[in-house]
Structure 1
Amino acid sequence: MNQVIYIMGVSGCGKSTIGNLLSEALKIPFFDGDDFHPEANVAKMSKGIPLNDEDRFGWLQTLNELGKKQVENNSCVIVCSGLKQMYRDILSKGIESKSMWVYLSGSFNQIEERVNKRSGHFMSSALLQSQFDTLEEPINALQLDISLKPEEIVKKIVKELDMKSEFGLFGLGVMGKSLSRNLAQKGFNISIFNREVKGSEENIAIDFKNAHSELEKSQPFSNVEAFVNSLQIPRRIMLMVNAGKITDMVIDDLIPYLSDGDILIDGGNSNYLKTKERYDYLKSKNINFIGVGVSGGEEGALKGPSIMPGGNKETYELVKPYLEGIAAKDTNGLPCCTYVGEEGSGHFVKMVHNGIEYVEMQLLAEVYTIFNTMGRNPDEIANILESWKSDVDSYLLGITVDILRKKDGDDWLVNKIVDKAGNKGTGNWTTIATAQLGAPSTLIASALFARYTSFYKEERCNANEKFGISPSELNLNSDDVLNAYQFGRIINHYQGLKLISEAGKAYSWTLNLSEIARIWTNGCIIKSDFAEALIPVLKEDDNILTNPSIISQLKELKPSINKVVAECILRELPVACLSESVNFLNAYTTSNSSANIIQAQRDYFGAHTYQRIDDLSGDFHHTNWN
């Protein structure tokens, strides 16, 4: 990756000498910041008058533009005092992750002696104290003592560049391995880490590197300290470990070896509330933390996942090229990765993504059950679903077609799979979150509880015998089922996006739902044509049920969902999410609901009060109902 190497420090520390030598050693362009000062600044300093922030602003912007232009084609060295953090922020704006800082440090007496020996320079020794007064020492810099010989300093800088990786991947499980290979394929120099257990799990990182040619330049480790020390400052380390206590244990193992300004990126399926806690905890230790949702499974992680990062925006800029570099691309060639928002918002959006995924899977399972009850075999159902792709194409629809066509001997494999669905907790978290936030994501809860119900296999078999309930023949056609499926998916996406919107309000996150829909158009499990269609809709309103086109579509599909759900209930076939989708819209579009009875009941037994439709003041009332 091309870099702008900024050599900084007070005047007289030897920046220009080191910059020239370094550019020669690396064979890259060299620029002295002093040469870009406007005449007014030079005249002011020549008179012994220190520059103020206003004087420096335009000069710093000029150097920033120079750096941005140069880094497009090559690395370069720029010498600039960069005394304040705000100056360094301007210099690196837009190229934060491509900026390397080298700080030449020395005592006042050392540098004063050097300045006094210079001749013909506009900076006099009288201004040196003002520079020391202004200096804010950087935390994300390679600090080198000016008492070293210039050649030794340059050698240390070159060694840092040659020997240190720009990105670290901690944890070589299925996802960690795929992301490592993805990073290496994109040309990033990486270090990879995996723990070792003598006698059972040895040489994992080394063996993994040796098994894949793209990892030839990667550095493998099983020692935490060596892994951390192999990385350029600020260190960028992505954690791909199991969510929960293991993540906290890994963070605690890393902290002793980290420096101020280093960045930890949690790429696991962590709970968003824990992400907030870890963010605050690490902030107290001057360590930056980003919570990143990664969707796409093993294949997506290798070929390009959808990535949902949340945390501090400035910190994100430092890891942006890596995350966007490995992400899937949308139809316009843009990365399916965007800064989601503050704190744990990235993991929250990934959690809701998984909740939507639960529903999409359940809807397809219900569609399969309907056609299966109608006497269609898996191949016939696969053909029907294949024909739907022109209307409702999605990743999950595609893999369901593949699943239904898979044979095992003389039978279809799906017929041999035990009907007990597992889960890893994200559906549970999403259901808890929707209850806590008061958002009606009823389909996610229904899909979750359908999985829970499936797990009681023995009880279900016993109940089947005792109740004697079994589905009878359904009088439905493929178009009605397709329309019902489309209807359910629209309601599902409305509820999921509504939950994200409500979280944004509750936690003061700045969220862009249109961008979130965009990064769901490729690389993730819920990628679909419908997500693509939602991008312009969400630019107009976060509530997709206010969109005239969506309203028209639901009205057109409503007779089919009514027919399918009614037929299934009459024929005793469970369709949890299809039925809940139409129940929700019926409730959502009811202007006068039964909630008045509930509020009266609450007032009766708990004096919870109520409001009256004939009292426009909005006051609350209580009645003695006895």
Structure 2
Amino acid sequence: MKKVIFIIGVSGCGKSTIGKLLSEELSIPFFDGDDFHPEANIKKMSEGVPLNDTDRQGWLETLNSLAKEQLVGNSCVIACSALKQKYRDTLSEGIIAETKWVHLTGSFHQIFERIHSRPNHFMPSELLQSQFDILEEPKDAIQIASSLSPENSIRKIKKELMTTSEFGLFGLGVMGKSLCRNLANNGFKISMFNRHVAGVEEDVAVSFKAAHSELSQAEAFDDIASFVNSLQQPRKIMLMVNAGKTIDYVIEDLLPYLSENDVLIDGGNSNYVNTKERFDYLKTNGIHFIGTGVSGGEEGALKGPSIMPSGDVEAYENVKPFLEKISAKDQNNLPCCTYVGPEGSGHFIKMVHNGVEYVEMQLLAEVCTLLEASGNNPDEIATILESWKDTANSYLLEITIAIFRKKEGNDWLVKKILDKAGNKGTGNWTTIASTQLGVPSTLIASALFSRYTSFYKEERTLLNKHFNQADHLELKVSTNDILEAYQFARIINHYQGFKLITEASIAYSWNLNLSEIARIWTSGCIIKSNLMQDLVDVFKNTTNILTDTQFSEGINKYKPSVKKVVSQSVLNDISVPCLGESIQFFNGITTAYSSANIIQAQRDYFGAHTYQRLDDDSGKNYHTNWN
């Protein structure tokens, strides 16, 4: 991968000398930033007047343009003071992933003597103190002491740049392997680790490297110490191992080899509560922890997933170039990766993402059941779903079409699959989080319990023989009715999912940006869809999509169809839990005066829980002796 290497530090630290030597060693061009100062800046400094930020801005932008021009054909070295972080941000604008920093350090006295003895330097030594005053130490730079000889400095820089890896990935399961290939395909030098278990997991990393040409420059390890020591500091290590205790065991295994300011990234489906605990624990050890949701499956991880990082925002800046580079890109070519918020918020929204995903999958399963009950074979069902892409397209719709077209021999494969749906726990966690926050995510619960119900295959088969089920021959609904019912339920699903995110953001003071979350879910992830694309703009104006004109008009349009479809399903003994719950929930959330008054009266009767009155808005609680 082509890189621009910025040699930075105060005047007199040896930037030009080291920069020229490094460029000769690497056979790449060298540019001295001082040569690009406008005349006004040079005149000002020669008169003993320090430059201000306004003076520097145009100069920094010129060097940024120079770097971009050079990167088109080759790497380069640029010497530039770049004393403040915002200066470095300008220099690396648009090329963060291709930028490397080398910081030449030294004491004021040492560098003062150097400048004082240097003839014809346009900046007087008296201005050196002003540079030390504004210096903000870079945390992601190769640190080189000015006391080192030029030869030793170059040797150390080359070792850091050429022999150490920029990014480490721990755990080579399906997702871990795909992410490694993604990182390598984007030009990053990586180190890969997988444990060694005799007779079970042997030479996994080495064999994986040998199997893929893009990993030729990657380093492969099954020894933790060697893996950690192969990485540039501060180290950036992404953990792709099973959620739960395994993460904690891995952290404990890594800790003895880590250094202050190293960054661990948990890219698995961890529980957000555990992520906060790990964040707090590692903070006491001086280690940063980033909880990161990753969606897209094996293909997404390889070609570009949606990435949802959270934790310490300063630490995120260190890993941002890597995560943004490998992520999917939205319709404006922006990365589907954004800093979500503090603590475990990234894993929280990934959890909700998966809950919404459960519902979207269940709705499509119910739709296909209805289409089959209407007399369509799998090929015909696929054709019908294909016709829906103009108005209801999504990744899940597309793969369902492919599933219904897949044949094994003369029959459709989908008809040969055992009707037991598994789950890995995120739908369960979403339902628990909903109850803890008091948010009615009823469709997610329905989708989850539908999977649980499916697992009782033997009992379902037995009970089917005990009860007379309809033959599903009187289903009086059209294909368009089913489409509109599906559209209705999807709106309710997304309303509930983002409602849960909103309430969590308030409860935990996360300050989450719903529009930005929707944006990073428009590409790369499992729930990307046309509907999600619409939500990006809707959430710029409201947190409640049911109050948006476009969506409220859609609800009113589709409501007659969902009522018809659900009613016909009940009359024909067809189970449509999520379609049914969508209209039940909508009726509940739009009822101004509900039956909850009766519930509260019952609670007061048997438990003296009290109630409030409609004719008293003071908030006073009442209790009645009901006997």
Whether the TM-score (by the shorter chain) exceeds 0.5 is yes
Deviation at 1:393, TM superposition (A): 1.6
Aligned partner of 1:603 in structure 2 is 604
Deviation at 1:58, TM superposition (A): 4.5
Q: CA separation of 1:283/1:583 partners in 2, compared to 1, >3 Å: closer, same or farther?
A: same
Deviation at 1:494, TM superposition (A): 0.9
Paired letter, 1:301:
A
Q: CA separation of 1:134/1:558 partners in 2, compared to 1, >3 Å: closer, same or farther?
A: closer
Q: Aligned equivalents of 1:321 and 1:528: distance in 2?
A: 26
Deviation at 1:490, TM superposition (A): 1.0
Aligned partner of 1:313 in structure 2 is 313
**2:71 maps to 1:70:** no
Q: CA separation of 1:410/1:204 partners in 2, compared to 1, >3 Å: closer, same or farther?
A: same
**2:226 maps to 1:226:** yes
Q: Aligned equivalents of 2:378 and 2:133: distance in 1?
A: 77
Aligned partner of 1:467 in structure 2 is 467
Aligned partner of 2:270 in structure 1 is 270
Residue by residue over 1:532-585, the C-alpha shift from the partner in whole angstroms, topping out at 9 and shown as x without a partner, is 222222222121100122111111111111111111112222111010000001
Which range is displaced more, 122-131 or 345-354?
Answer: 122-131
Q: Aligned equivalents of 2:67 and 2:309: distance in 1?
A: 25
Q: Aligned equivalents of 1:532 and 1:86: distance in 2?
A: 33
**Identity percentage of aligned residues:** 62
Give the match's secondary structure for 1:292.
Answer: strand
Aligned partner of 1:201 in structure 2 is 201
Paired letter, 1:70:
L
Paired letter, 1:69:
S
Aligned partner of 1:560 in structure 2 is 561
TM-score, structure 1 length as denominator?
A: 0.90
Aligned partner of 2:623 in structure 1 is 622
Q: CA separation of 1:483/1:199 partners in 2, compared to 1, >3 Å: closer, same or farther?
A: same
Aligned partner of 2:416 in structure 1 is 416
5 Å matches for 1:369-380? Answer: 369-380=369-380
Q: Aligned equivalents of 2:131 and 2:532: distance in 1?
A: 54
Q: CA separation of 1:530/1:13 partners in 2, compared to 1, >3 Å: closer, same or farther?
A: closer
Q: Aligned equivalents of 1:434 and 1:309: distance in 2?
A: 22
**Contact 2:61–2:90 at 8 Å: present in 1 too?**
no
**Contact 1:96–1:317 at 8 Å: present in 2 too?**
no
Paired letter, 1:601:
Q
**Contact 1:2–1:72 at 8 Å: present in 2 too?**
no
Q: CA separation of 1:225/1:30 partners in 2, compared to 1, >3 Å: closer, same or farther?
A: farther
Q: CA separation of 1:256/1:122 partners in 2, compared to 1, >3 Å: closer, same or farther?
A: farther
Q: CA separation of 1:567/1:354 partners in 2, compared to 1, >3 Å: closer, same or farther?
A: same
**2:249 maps to 1:249:** yes
**2:529 maps to 1:533:** no
Give the match's secondary structure for 2:497.
Answer: helix
Q: Aligned equivalents of 2:401 and 2:522: distance in 1?
A: 20
Q: Aligned equivalents of 1:295 and 1:519: distance in 2?
A: 10
Residue by residue over 1:232-278, the C-alpha shift from the partner in whole angstroms, topping out at 9 and shown as x without a partner, is 23322222111111122222222222232222222111111222222
**Contact 1:140–1:262 at 8 Å: present in 2 too?**
no
Q: CA separation of 1:433/1:246 partners in 2, compared to 1, >3 Å: closer, same or farther?
A: same
Residue by residue over 1:139-197, the C-alpha shift from the partner in whole angstroms, topping out at 9 and shown as x without a partner, is 54333344432122112212321222222222211111111112222222222222222
Paired letter, 2:390:
S
TM-score, structure 2 length as denominator?
A: 0.89
Structure 1: segments with no counterpart, 5+ residues = 46-50
Paired letter, 2:424:
K
Deviation at 1:225, TM superposition (A): 2.3
Deviation at 1:311, TM superposition (A): 2.5
Q: Aligned equivalents of 1:333 and 1:121: distance in 2?
A: 45
Give the match's secondary structure for 1:143.
Answer: strand
Paired letter, 2:64:
K
Q: Aligned equivalents of 2:134 and 2:404: distance in 1?
A: 69
Aligned partner of 1:48 in structure 2 is none
**Contact 1:279–1:290 at 8 Å: present in 2 too?**
yes
Q: Aligned equivalents of 2:378 and 2:316: distance in 1?
A: 46
5 Å matches for 1:356-435? Answer: 356-435=356-435
Q: Aligned equivalents of 2:351 and 2:4: distance in 1?
A: 37
**Contact 2:446–2:581 at 8 Å: present in 1 too?**
yes
**Contact 2:605–2:626 at 8 Å: present in 1 too?**
yes
**Contact 1:289–1:311 at 8 Å: present in 2 too?**
yes
Aligned partner of 2:456 in structure 1 is 456
Q: Aligned equivalents of 1:622 and 1:43: distance in 2?
A: 84
Q: Aligned equivalents of 2:133 and 2:517: distance in 1?
A: 46
**Contact 1:352–1:430 at 8 Å: present in 2 too?**
yes
Structure 2: segments with no counterpart, 5+ residues = none
Deviation at 1:346, TM superposition (A): 1.7
Give the match's secondary structure for 1:286.
Answer: coil
Give the match's secondary structure for 1:196.
Answer: coil
Aligned partner of 2:590 in structure 1 is 589
Q: CA separation of 1:252/1:60 partners in 2, compared to 1, >3 Å: closer, same or farther?
A: farther
Deviation at 1:108, TM superposition (A): 7.1
Which range is displaced more, 413-422 or 589-598?
Answer: 413-422
Q: Aligned equivalents of 1:140 and 1:533: distance in 2?
A: 38
Aligned residues: 617
5 Å matches for 1:22-33? Answer: 22-26=22-26, 27-31=28-32
Paired letter, 1:263:
V
What RMSD over aligned residues (CA atoms) do the two structures have, in Å?
3.0
Which range is displaced more, 412-421 or 16-25?
Answer: 16-25
Deviation at 1:117, TM superposition (A): 4.4
Q: Aligned equivalents of 1:90 and 1:193: distance in 2?
A: 35
